[in-house]
Structure 1
Amino acid sequence: MLDLLDVHTHTIASVHAYSTLREMITAAKEKGLSLIGISDHAPAMPGAFHEYYFCNFKVIRRDAYGIDLVMGAELNIIDFCGSTDLRQDLLDRIDYAIASLHAPCIKPGTREQNTAALIGAMKNPKVKIIGHPDNPKYPVDFNMLAKAAQKHHVLLECNNSSYTPGGSRKGSRELAGELLTACKKHGTMIIMGSDAHIDLDVGNHQYAIEMIKKYQFPEELVINNRPELFKKWISE
């Protein structure tokens, strides 16, 4: 599978990550990616930088590194309506947003509540990706999620970190099949994300690819092989 982009990555601005912006970009270039996105955690995550971090991306020259660069954020969903933790005026300054459910920011609800939270977040036009939707701590209705993602022009993520043996989201591998089956049924596009917190993991989609092959998911519904389509996707 041709794999040319990774847009779920974290730098030292996420505090619990360990590489700089330049180190992450350099790693992406060395690994042959065509596009990298930086998506540091928004302020509700404990230890994350102040919201001002997201107000000055204009100083980052996107053409300076010899690789396409987009600057985003991983938003924390903070209620079951899908509200997130970055003001709209700051969202307007970034290229894209991932919206995710994280235990430090919202306690798991019922299947219906968790599904409503993710679908609610999709309604924000800046949210282009739902992060690790197959986290077993937050059970969801995958058919409803896939249908809503198709409707709202949102990508559902196959998160490599979730599928890594010994990772923090145990049980995600077992749920990946349900996610991919629902996306296949509804023609919903997905994206592989490394969720890299260090430069060594940039572009590492080994286990996500394993899941995609295991469940015979069609490659034409995986956006990672089309950087130009992704850039168009986040601009619409």
Structure 2
Amino acid sequence: MNIIADTHTHTIASTHAYSTLQEMVHAAYLKKLYAIAVTDHGITMPGAPGRWYFHNLRIIPHLLEGVLVLRGQETNIIDFDGNIDIEADCVGTMDWVVASIHAEAIPKERPTVEEVTNAWMNIAKNPHINVIGHSGTNKYRYDYESVIPEFGRQGKLVELNESSFFGRESSIPNCKRIMEICKKRGVPIIVNTDSHFSSLVGCFDHSLALLDELDFPEELVVNSSTERFQAYLREYSQVFNDPLLQ
């Protein structure tokens, strides 16, 4: 399987990442990727860029070195009602939004499965969100069987996150279960690196090995072909409104 886009990445604007936006795009070019999304952390995360960073994303060209650049954010889910930290006047600058739960941005130490399930059910209804980010974390388990089909119905892509194989190892069994349910219920997924350094862009080896183990259908992997990915963008993103991409 060939992955043609990496749609969850971070730049030095997230102060625990170490490459510039141009370095990340250049890495995507070297990996022959069709697209990259730059999704720095929303403002609730410690060390995140300020609101003007996201408001000013409009100055980033959608095409650099022949790579489609999606202007985005990894927004934080900030409570168990599914509220997020994108500011209203920044929504219009976003081509791509990943929604994730991070302990640093959500107040409760030990949420129940029911609370996390409620958060994700409400996230599924949010029209501004594209990707359900690394949702296999043990601490934030939810009712996979109930929520994952709703993600599919609402056009949300369930992420298989390459970085989970290194930084969230305890979540790997949950990630496998989530992928099994996506396969069973026909819910589209997306494979991303969540890279915080340019050399990691486009490196999907562990994720692809898991999909191969599960005999996961390629047609459910939205970023496994340019045509599938473009079709999703036309339905769920504003990026092709840019006259330069017509």
**Same fold, TM-score > 0.5, yes or no:** yes
Which residue of the partner structure matches residue 111 of structure 1?
A: 113
- Are residues 95 and 61 of structure 1, via their aligned partners in 2, closer, same or farther at CA, if it must alter by over 3 Å? same
Which residue of the partner structure matches residue 184 of structure 2?
A: 185
The correspondence of residues 124-163 of structure 1 with structure 2, limited to 5 A, is 124-163=126-165
State the SS of the aligned residue for 2:8: coil
State the SS of the aligned residue for 2:140: coil
Question: How far did residue 133 of structure 1 move?
Answer: 1.0
Which residue of the partner structure matches residue 71 of structure 1?
A: 71
Q: How many residues align?
A: 233
Task: Give TM-score scaled by structure 1 length.
Answer: 0.94
Render the CA deviation track for 1:15-39: whole Å, top value 9, x for unaligned.
1000000000000100111111100
- Are residues 22 and 159 of structure 1, via their aligned partners in 2, closer, same or farther at CA, if it must alter by over 3 Å? same
Which residue of the partner structure matches residue 18 of structure 1?
A: 18
Question: How far did residue 123 of structure 1 move?
Answer: 1.5
State the SS of the aligned residue for 1:92: helix
Task: Give distance in 2, aligned partners of 1:56 and 1:228.
Answer: 29
State the SS of the aligned residue for 2:64: coil
Which residue of the partner structure matches residue 82 of structure 2?
A: 82
Q: Is the 8 A contact 2:222 2:232 kept in 1?
A: no
Give the partner amino acid of 2:37.
G
State the SS of the aligned residue for 1:196: coil
Which residue of the partner structure matches residue 123 of structure 2?
A: 121
1:91 aligns with 2:91: yes
Which residue of the partner structure matches residue 101 of structure 1?
A: 101
With 58-67 and 39-48 compared, the bigger mean Cα shift is at: 58-67
The answer for unaligned runs of 5 or more in structure 2 is: 236-246
Question: How far did residue 235 of structure 1 move?
Answer: 4.3
Task: Give distance in 1, aligned partners of 2:15 and 2:231.
Answer: 31
Q: Is the 8 A contact 2:134 2:160 kept in 1?
A: yes
For the aligned residues, what is the CA RMSD? 1.3
Task: Give distance in 2, aligned partners of 1:43 and 1:232.
Answer: 30
Q: Is the 8 A contact 2:71 2:93 kept in 1?
A: no
Q: Is the 8 A contact 2:25 2:64 kept in 1?
A: no
Give the partner amino acid of 1:178.
R
Q: Is the 8 A contact 1:115 1:141 kept in 2?
A: yes
Task: Give distance in 2, aligned partners of 1:145 and 1:215.
Answer: 21
Give the partner amino acid of 2:212.
K
Give the partner amino acid of 1:27.
A
After TM superposition, the runs of 4+ consecutive aligned structure 1 residues lying more than 4 A away are none
Task: Give distance in 2, aligned partners of 1:89 and 1:210.
Answer: 40
The answer for unaligned runs of 5 or more in structure 1 is: none
Question: How far did residue 227 of structure 1 move?
Answer: 3.2
Provide the identity percentage. Answer: 39
